Structure formats: C-alpha cells, structure tokens
A and B are shown apart, each in its own frame.
Chain A
Amino acid sequence: MTSPVLTVENLAKRFPTGRSGVFVNAVNGVDLTIAPGETLGMVGESGSGKSTIGRAVLRLTEPTEGKIIFDGRDITKIPEGQMRPLRRDMQMVFQDPWSALNPRMRIGDLIAEPMKLHLGLSKSERENKTVDLANRVHLRPEFLRRHSSDLSGGQLQRVCIARAIATNPKLIVLDEPTSSLDLSVRAEILDLLNEIREQTHAAMLFISHDLGTVKLISDRIVVLYLGSVVESARTDELFSNPAHPYSQSLLSAHLPADPAAKLERHVLKGEIPSPINLPSGCTFRTRCPVAKDFCEHEVPKPHHIGSAEHQANCLRIPDGGNRIAQTETA
C-alpha cells in the first residue's frame, strides 16, 4: 500500500469557554487516514466536530492534542512560515461560496490568486491557466471579467473549486460543499467533483451531514458523534451492515426520495448532549437504545467487523447486543 496523504492520530480540540477550567470538547481523540486519490466521507450531526477536524488537518485551527502527518511529514507543530509552502498541496472548499470569495475582486483574479501566491507563474501563464481552469469547472470565459455578485451559488462554488485545484493539491478538504445549493445544482457540482477527482487524483475529505450525498462520492466513510469516530467502513459496507447503534439510527433517519422505499425506523430519543459536559464512558449512551449499565464506565475501543477496514466503537459488539431491533413503519 502506498503511504497515506494524511494521517491523523489521536486528534483533540478543546475550545475555551471564557470560564476557567470549562472547555467545549469539540474533538476527542480522532484517528484518520486518507490514501492518495481516495475520497473519505465524514458524516455527523451538528456539534459532532466534523468541521473542526477539517480545519485542524489544514492547521486552520490549532489542535490541542494529537498528530497530523501530511505527505509523510509531521505538520502538527511547524511554524506558519514553513506551513505556507505546504499549503499549495492542501486546499479547502467551504459551504458558503458567497462569503468565501472577495466581492471586490473579478472572478478571473480570484481563480488566479492561488497561482500568484504559490506557483510564481508569469502574468500571461496565469491568464492562460485561468481560462483553462474555468474550462475545467465548466464556467463560461465571459464570467472571468465579472464579480461574484453577478454569479449564482452553483457558479460561485465552481469558482471555489477552480481555486482549490489551481495549485494541483494532493488533498482537498470540502466542508459541506453542496449543502447551500438547490438539488439540480448540487447534482452538477457532484458531477464536477467526480471529474476533478478522476483528472487530478487528489485525495478528498468530504464533510457533510447528508448521507445521500456522502454515499455518492466517498470510497470510505467515518461516522462521528460528539467529536469521536464511532464507525468507519467502506461506503457499501457501512450502508449494508452498519454496526454502531448510532450509525444504524442515522441511516434509518435518512429519507430516500422514493415513496415506495420501506423505512426501518429507529428514531432516537432526545438530542446530542452538550460537548461541555461529555457523558462518561460511551458518549452515545444517553441516547442509545441498547445501552447497558457498563456503558457508563468504560470508553469503547474500536472492534473489527468483518473486513479490516470496518471498525466500530461500541461496547455491545462483543456480546452481540449492538443491533437495534428492527421495527418497520411505512
């Protein structure tokens, strides 16, 4: 196996709340790896820490603990000055393209900006490459002279993707890139991301709360709950055989756009607890339909399910009690 583009070991991020000794535990000991050319989907509800992880792996937020190894190099502690040249190999696409682009710059300059910062090309080389990039994201060349206020959300997201691939990065982190877009536009952007992936072989970390979207684009998926990975598996394995009770209920809460599809509903009680006071032991136990008394005292470790790539962190796996009883409703 080739060495991974990104390895994250025991990543933790705690944000201070302003009160001494009280922290928001956003990320609590997360391990991840992404192979070259691989797309890793990261799903979880709001407050599960997925955006914080996405930002931390690019050092856009400083991790409290843990290690980030990018392309074989430990970048956890290196100073910003040494970080800068590495940033051409790691790019990010944000959820809201309206606030991600400078409204006073022309689209052409926005696309050329990363090349100016990182590649040291001449002006004419940059101009040629800008037109080429606009082509690759299917943006008509006349848009290059306009400003962001003249473009729709889908077109702006294409601009953001063009910026992200301008420096031929090894890793692109995409934080909910299609969540603010209408359904038909979302489909176009997913198509585009797939093209980009096949052309550039860049690895992608695709963050989303929408299981349907993640399923379409990811090779592998990690499921997060309260800042911890509860399950990771290849996409088809996760959907056919979810092992963690949280993954099972998350999958069952997804509504396929097909009235004939039967739903297996395990609706969870309550809502995600506050990350300030994490529940002891297994953090999911307060909402878990199969929790036992011992879940309060022990922190779950990863268990292999079938293949080596499928792991779930649930204390009920050894005794086989991790399956939620099937109940069917129309």
Chain B
Amino acid sequence: MSLLEVENLRTHFISRDIDNQIRVAKALNDVSFRLEAGKVLGFVGETGAGKSLTAQSICGLLRPPARIVGGSVLFDGQDLIEMPQEELNALRGDQIAMVVQNPRTSLDPLTRIGDQLVRIHQAHTGGPVTASRGRALDMMQAVGIPDPANRSNAWPHELSGGMAQRVLIAMALMNNPKLLIADEPTTGLDVTVQAQILDLMKGLTERFGMAMIIITHDLGIVAHYSDEIAVMFAGTIVESGPVREVFAKPDHPYTRSLIASTPEKLQIGGGAKLGGQPPDLYNLPSGCPLRTRCTFAEDVCATPPTRKQIGGGHYSVCHFSGALPEGGGPQ
C-alpha cells in the first residue's frame, strides 16, 4: 500500500450564472496518482491546470463553489474525503503538513514565531509546554535559522521572505509529518535563497523519511529535486513517471512542448510553439482536452484517450502514446 493513493479525483466549481443557470467548471477530472513513503513527487503544468487544486482537494481545504464530486483519496489506508471533520483536523498539521507560496500571509502577525511553533505542537501532541519549546528550537535549528533561542521571540514582520519560509517549514515539521505538500515553496524568493530552501527540504525528506509533493511551474526544480513527475493539463495528469525517464523520453505532446519551452531547450525563432489558450473549464472539448491545440490531433482524439504504460512506472494519456515520432512534435 502506498502512503497516498488518489483515484479518479474529480473537483468541480458549481455555481449559478447571472441568469440563475447552473454552471460547472470541471477543474479536476479523474486525477489518479500514488506516492510512496520517502519519495518526492513534482507536479507541473500551466496556470489553471489544477496543481494547487489537487493539493487543496487532498487536504480538504476546498471552499464553495469548489466541491469534490467523485473519487477517493487514501492516506495511510484512510479515506480523507469520507473522514469526519474532527478526524481530518487531527491529521492536518500533524501527519499531513503544507507549505504555501506566500509565507507572510500564512503566519499569525500578532504572535511571536516561537509561540506559533509551540501552538501547533500543543494542539496535536500535547505534553508539557517546555517540551514543545525544546522541539521548536530543534526544528528552527534544523531549518537553518541562526540563533533559534533569540529568533523565536521575533515577530513575523521582522523576518525576510526566506526566513519566513524557513519558519513555515519548521512549523510543518513540528509534528513529524509523513507527508509534506509544498505549493510553490520558493516562487517569491531569489535564486540563491531558493537553492538554500530546496536543499533544506530535500535533506529533510532524506533525514526523516517524509514523502513530499512539490507543486511548481519551474521544471528545473522538478528535474533536480523530485523522484517522480506528474504533468497536469486541464485538470488531468497527462503524463507521469520517474523524472529522468520523462525528461529523457517525454511521450505526451503537452509534455514535449513544455520541455521544449524551457530555456535549456528553447530554440529562439525555431519552429511553431504549442500556442493557444488553456481550454475553457466550463466547456471542455470532448475527448482529449489538448486536441484543439495539438499538432498531432486526428479524428480519434474526439474520444477520450486512455492511460497507457510506456515504461517502468511511466504513463501517458494520449491516443498515440508510444507511436509519435521520437523527439518530434510541437517545439
């Protein structure tokens, strides 16, 4: 059994328009993946592909009009979707932790950072407060905050972006989670600080045997910090597999175009790019969602493609999986 098993997860935004007609945005459509303990999985995709929404759906953090309309999320064998709110609350912040993009808005501005770390430990673990304090200092040390005893008295506004992100990571680690979900953890940070934070998180997964999901639009981060990659497009995972395998032999036309668009592979002025707009989630094309933008599309693409295995743990959802010319496709 994997640590996390997501099967056919579907999340829709259900609302009414100005004429009181029900409108449905199909934001996640049959998302399925597995994550083993101690592994790092990287989610990539364009804005609106459903990367963050997948994380929020797993953690039960959706707000109306977003709603899970199907599928299952098994964490350590327990179904998180069916789980009563109190049990889910006990799990979140304890066995499942999250680090988000903007650290400053995630910290309580009116509480010293040490007290915020103690608070989350007390809420889930209890025991003497002095023990929680000791743990807080240990975790601040572990994430590379200099002089923890002094810094634990600091207010959130006194911290730089990189320091605030370290505090959030320390907070996520307070209860020894089995799964850490990092949603664009370094997007607002400078590259030299990004390197520090990513090295730190990767080191912690190795040290504590924690599994991690990294959500990012930066393929460089996924290439160097995750074991597996999942490429999302229009609310589905179109290709997934071991990082080296997928980068070396991308199968799905969308993955190919994404990798060809990275600065390393991009040929300025060379060939047609996979242009066009992301599909309208209120009105998805029938069959393959990419077909309106895909240069390989044929009539068969109007029917839904199935997931095919094309290598060890490497899957692609395309009618022409394994049959497209090597290295070809949209640049």
Chain B residues whose CB sits within 8 angstroms of the CB of A210 once the complex forms: 263
Q: Which of B223, B224, B269 contacts A191 (CB 8 A)?
A: B269
A182 close to chain B: CB less than 8 A? yes
Kindly report which residue of chain A lies nearest to residue B218, judged by CB atoms.
A255
A139 close to chain B: CB less than 8 A? no
Chain B residues whose CB sits within 8 angstroms of the CB of A183 once the complex forms: 46, 217, 219, 258, 261-262
Kindly report which residue of chain A lies nearest to residue B200, judged by CB atoms.
A267
B147 close to chain A: CB less than 8 A? no
A22 close to chain B: CB less than 8 A? no
B14 close to chain A: CB less than 8 A? no
Given A216-B263, A254-B220, A259-B247, are A182 and B269 also a contact pair (CB < 8 Å)? no
Task: Tell me the interface secondary structure of chain B in the complex.
Answer: helix
Given A46-B190, A152-B277, A217-B268, are A259 and B195 also a contact pair (CB < 8 Å)? no
Given A216-B266, A257-B264, A260-B244, are A267 and B223 also a contact pair (CB < 8 Å)? no
A217-B260 Cα distance, complex, nearest whole Å? 16
> For window 142-170 of chain B, which residues contact chain A by CB distance below 8 Å?
160, 162-163
A256 close to chain B: CB less than 8 A? yes
Given A255-B220, A257-B219, are A186 and B190 also a contact pair (CB < 8 Å)? no
Chain A residues whose CB sits within 8 angstroms of the CB of B194 once the complex forms: 253
A249: min CB distance to chain B, Å:
6
Number of interface residues of A (CB under 8 A): 39
B221 close to chain A: CB less than 8 A? yes
Kindly report which residue of chain A lies nearest to residue B265, judged by CB atoms.
A257
Kindly report which residue of chain A lies nearest to residue B330, judged by CB atoms.
A184
B196 close to chain A: CB less than 8 A? yes
Tell me whether A258 and B192 are in contact (CB under 8 A).
no
Q: Which of A188, A209, A212, A249 contacts B264 (CB 8 A)?
A: A212
Given A187-B266, A190-B268, are A260 and B248 also a contact pair (CB < 8 Å)? yes
B-contact 0/1 string along A252-287, CB 8 Å cutoff: 111111111101010110011000000000000000
Chain A residues whose CB sits within 8 angstroms of the CB of B262 once the complex forms: 183, 212, 256-257
Kindly report which residue of chain B lies nearest to residue A182, judged by CB atoms.
B46
B275 close to chain A: CB less than 8 A? yes
Kindly report which residue of chain B lies nearest to residue A194, judged by CB atoms.
B268
Kindly report which residue of chain B lies nearest to residue A195, judged by CB atoms.
B269
Tell me whether B244 and A191 are in contact (CB under 8 A).
no
A221: min CB distance to chain B, Å:
14
A81: min CB distance to chain B, Å:
40
Chain A residues whose CB sits within 8 angstroms of the CB of B244 once the complex forms: 259-260
Given A191-B268, A215-B263, A259-B244, are A267 and B196 also a contact pair (CB < 8 Å)? yes
A-contact 0/1 string along B265-294, CB 8 Å cutoff: 110110001110100000000000000000
Question: How many A-B pairs fall under 8 Å by CB?
Answer: 109
Kindly report which residue of chain A lies nearest to residue B243, judged by CB atoms.
A259
Chain A residues whose CB sits within 8 angstroms of the CB of B195 once the complex forms: 252-253, 265, 267-268
Kindly report which residue of chain A lies nearest to residue B293, judged by CB atoms.
A184
- Most chain-A Cβ atoms within 10 A of its Cβ — which of B162, B219, B263? B263
A187-B275 Cα distance, complex, nearest whole Å? 9
A158-B265 Cα distance, complex, nearest whole Å? 23
A267-B47 Cα distance, complex, nearest whole Å? 30
Tell me whether A250 and B263 are in contact (CB under 8 A).
no
> For window 194-241 of chain B, which residues contact chain A by CB distance below 8 Å?
194-196, 199, 217-221, 223-224
A315-B275 Cα distance, complex, nearest whole Å? 48
B261: min CB distance to chain A, Å:
4
Chain B residues whose CB sits within 8 angstroms of the CB of A195 once the complex forms: 269
Tell me whether B261 and A263 are in contact (CB under 8 A).
no
Chain B residues whose CB sits within 8 angstroms of the CB of A256 once the complex forms: 220, 223, 262, 264
A39-B47 Cα distance, complex, nearest whole Å? 29
B120 close to chain A: CB less than 8 A? no
A45 close to chain B: CB less than 8 A? yes
Q: Which of A194, A209, A213 contacts B263 (CB 8 A)?
A: A213
Chain B residues whose CB sits within 8 angstroms of the CB of A216 once the complex forms: 263, 266, 268
Kindly report which residue of chain A lies nearest to residue B163, judged by CB atoms.
A271
A221-B106 Cα distance, complex, nearest whole Å? 37
Kindly report which residue of chain A lies nearest to residue B146, judged by CB atoms.
A270
Chain A residues whose CB sits within 8 angstroms of the CB of B323 once the complex forms: none
Q: Which of A46, A190, A250 contacts B266 (CB 8 A)?
A: A190
Chain B residues whose CB sits within 8 angstroms of the CB of A254 once the complex forms: 191, 220
B297 close to chain A: CB less than 8 A? no
Tell me whether A209 and B261 are in contact (CB under 8 A).
no
Given A182-B217, A183-B262, A250-B192, are A263 and B273 also a contact pair (CB < 8 Å)? no
Tell me whether B224 and A259 are in contact (CB under 8 A).
yes
Chain B residues whose CB sits within 8 angstroms of the CB of A209 once the complex forms: 190-191
A100: min CB distance to chain B, Å:
19
Chain A residues whose CB sits within 8 angstroms of the CB of B190 once the complex forms: 45-46, 209, 271-272
**18 residue pairs bridging A and B, Cβ less than 8 Å apart:** A182-B47, A183-B258, A184-B46, A184-B274, A184-B275, A186-B261, A188-B273, A210-B263, A215-B263, A250-B191, A253-B192, A256-B220, A257-B219, A257-B220, A258-B223, A260-B247, A267-B195, A268-B192
Q: Which 8 A-B pairs have the closest CB atoms?
A: A212-B263, A255-B220, A257-B262, A45-B190, A257-B219, A187-B261, A253-B195, A259-B223
B residues contacting A by CB (< 8 A) are 46-47, 160, 162-163, 190-196, 199, 217-221, 223-224, 243-244, 247-248, 257-266, 268-269, 273-275, 277
Known contacts A152-B277, A215-B263; 15 further A-B pairs (Cβ under 8 A): A45-B192, A46-B190, A183-B46, A188-B275, A191-B269, A194-B268, A212-B264, A250-B192, A256-B223, A257-B262, A257-B263, A259-B223, A259-B243, A261-B223, A271-B192
